[in-house]
Structure 1
């Protein structure tokens, strides 16, 4: 990524450069710092959800080992684009054979999104890990390790990255706002955290998009992410459960037009709100709604018509509401 683009993207501009700057992953950072002090490390496998600092930690580790010019001692490949056996046999093999830095007896090969490597490429990588252990260390990054073959996993020290805590994400967002001189509402930053689900990169991207429109408010945040406000989704569900089907249908159309939502977007928001503490229904009703929402999402993924499926879902909610009322009499 060019330096100019990095300056434009806040997620890159404010990416931690050293292990000391990494937020939240205390146990991971502690173990990585030990490698820096010892100037030695095994092959590493970083696993965890997106945006939790896996790639950042790999770069920070290399920075702390080699200094500012660490790039010349690290080969970075994104396995989504370069996932075949030819890449492993040529680029990686050529780099592994090259001269190592004098102070540190090894170089680093960073394989991002390693789960996308083909089976043959993984087997080739396993052999290279065996052949060049004396001069090269491999860092593999994966959201989920299940697609990494066991012989590779067994050769790596596994580091598990967890979703970031709310207070850490919000504190980082506030710090960026101060650096950029942008105004914000506290509630808006809390909403950004909820929408990002502990993904720092996504949280910063949402913040930057919202700040481009002026003061960062709750309304602006929902506008830039293209999601309806939770209370509006709950209102639509309640209208249907109360037997007011046409009003619920009109609310659905209003949400889809105003926010540009797809059918899957709506169903995902309904599913999220069903488990919200603000949604006041008995536990068994939550279970029924969540179960049926899953069926509707499956049909939408398979290509069913958005409007027909969502109207059918509201009709089902209306009938459910009538059954509940009848049972209470």
Structure 2
């Protein structure tokens, strides 16, 4: 089985290889992927450390972990472009991701075949630059494959460096973790994501309002990939229109703030029957999931001043309802449980018991 090297848009025109669509047809997450380490908008300390490694030709094996959309893959791809001659990155980098088979046979054959030969390229300090193997979503590899990879890393460290990318470092065996320098990529801060969104919106001619920006960043939750995908969906769904909070919520399939206002008022003031009707209206007629309603109500209740005992009871119940929904329980039943939880808290606050 032959290994496919990393796909980067530096293939000379007319050469054979994977078809790359025109730049204006690319998803924005690819079109605006950082081309160099300087283009990255967050994690300054990590980037500076990696720059020093590259400048000294002393890049260690890396384990980049953290939530999706935080720049892990972009960082190592930008690093690869900085390490190797322009137009020749494909010769020195092997990237395997979730779409590739990564069982023990791939480790023993494809990866081993790639790293068994030395690079002919010398770095700025005169030493031979090692090849680079990027294993994206490495936490999906089986334990057997990870142990086989450990042996390959030990055997071919003089020829290649390995970069493991994952969401959960706990799913990487300790033997691999101990051989890598670990960097955790935290979710992007709103200020960091906002700067990139403004740049992309400017380049694409998209107008976005202040409330639209706030809604977009809240929806993204520090995931830059999710933010850009949502922005592109809004721009394509409503061409020529200003992207505001209403558009963001509609495209993302989230409840409108006005709907949550009405639900919050009902849960805090109306009888049980009317509260259930309010939940069912949003769930059945408007098509929102109870999970989304739960998250929105939780965000509102965090800001409400209430007695500690009542707050503890409410948040414990909300957590239990979310767990049941994630386990596959009926949305109708859990919607009623949401109403029951609020009425229990209201009774506690009224009677003081």
Aligned to 1:289: 314
- 1:77 lines up with 2:93 in the alignment: no
Q: Which moved more, 1:86-95 or 1:305-314?
A: 305-314
Aligned to 1:261: 288
Describe the SS at the equivalent of 2:352. Answer: helix
Aligned to 1:121: 145
The whole-number CA distance in structure 2 between the counterparts of 1:117 and 1:298 is 27
Whether the 8 Å contact between 2:255 and 2:292 is mirrored in structure 1 is: no
Aligned to 1:38: 56
The whole-number CA distance in structure 1 between the counterparts of 2:315 and 2:137 is 31
Aligned to 1:318: 343
Deviation at 1:236, TM superposition (A): 1.6
Aligned to 2:113: 94
Whether the 8 Å contact between 1:49 and 1:161 is mirrored in structure 2 is: yes
Alignment of 1:141-160 (within 5 A): 141-160=165-184
Alpha-carbon RMSD: 2.1
Aligned to 2:324: 299
Aligned to 2:20: 3
The whole-number CA distance in structure 2 between the counterparts of 1:86 and 1:269 is 46
Q: Does the C-alpha gap of structure 1 residues 228 and 119 become closer, same or farther in structure 2, counting only changes over 3 Å?
A: same
Whether the 8 Å contact between 2:321 and 2:338 is mirrored in structure 1 is: yes
The whole-number CA distance in structure 2 between the counterparts of 1:166 and 1:177 is 16
Aligned to 1:138: 162
The TM-score normalised by the length of structure 1 is 0.92
The whole-number CA distance in structure 2 between the counterparts of 1:176 and 1:257 is 36
Deviation at 1:122, TM superposition (A): 0.5
User: CA offsets per residue over residues 226-258 of structure 1, 9 Å max, x none?
Assistant: 111345335423422324333322322332246
Whether the 8 Å contact between 1:226 and 1:259 is mirrored in structure 2 is: no
Higher helix share: 1
Describe the SS at the equivalent of 1:4. Answer: coil
Deviation at 1:124, TM superposition (A): 0.4
Whether the 8 Å contact between 2:138 and 2:172 is mirrored in structure 1 is: yes
**Structure 1 gap segments, 5+ residues each:** none
The whole-number CA distance in structure 2 between the counterparts of 1:298 and 1:265 is 13
User: CA offsets per residue over residues 50-81 of structure 1, 9 Å max, x none?
Assistant: 11100000100000001433122110011574
Q: Which moved more, 1:87-96 or 1:67-76?
A: 67-76
The whole-number CA distance in structure 2 between the counterparts of 1:93 and 1:208 is 40
The whole-number CA distance in structure 1 between the counterparts of 2:107 and 2:28 is 32
Whether the 8 Å contact between 1:43 and 1:139 is mirrored in structure 2 is: yes
- 1:170 lines up with 2:194 in the alignment: yes
Describe the SS at the equivalent of 2:34. Answer: coil
Deviation at 1:4, TM superposition (A): 1.7
Deviation at 1:182, TM superposition (A): 1.1
- 1:51 lines up with 2:69 in the alignment: yes
Q: 4+ runs of 1 displaced by more than 6 Å?
A: none
Q: Which moved more, 1:179-188 or 1:289-298?
A: 289-298
Q: Which moved more, 1:161-170 or 1:13-22?
A: 161-170
Q: Does the C-alpha gap of structure 1 residues 192 and 72 become closer, same or farther in structure 2, counting only changes over 3 Å?
A: same
The whole-number CA distance in structure 2 between the counterparts of 1:10 and 1:68 is 23
User: CA offsets per residue over residues 24-43 of structure 1, 9 Å max, x none?
Assistant: 11101101111221223111
Aligned to 1:24: 42
Whether the 8 Å contact between 1:115 and 1:142 is mirrored in structure 2 is: yes
The whole-number CA distance in structure 2 between the counterparts of 1:145 and 1:315 is 39
User: CA offsets per residue over residues 88-119 of structure 1, 9 Å max, x none?
Assistant: 11111111123413224310000011111100
Describe the SS at the equivalent of 1:130. Answer: helix
Q: Which moved more, 1:57-66 or 1:46-55?
A: 46-55
Deviation at 1:286, TM superposition (A): 2.7
The whole-number CA distance in structure 2 between the counterparts of 1:225 and 1:52 is 20
Aligned residues: 326
* 2:226 maps to which of 196, 202, 205: 202
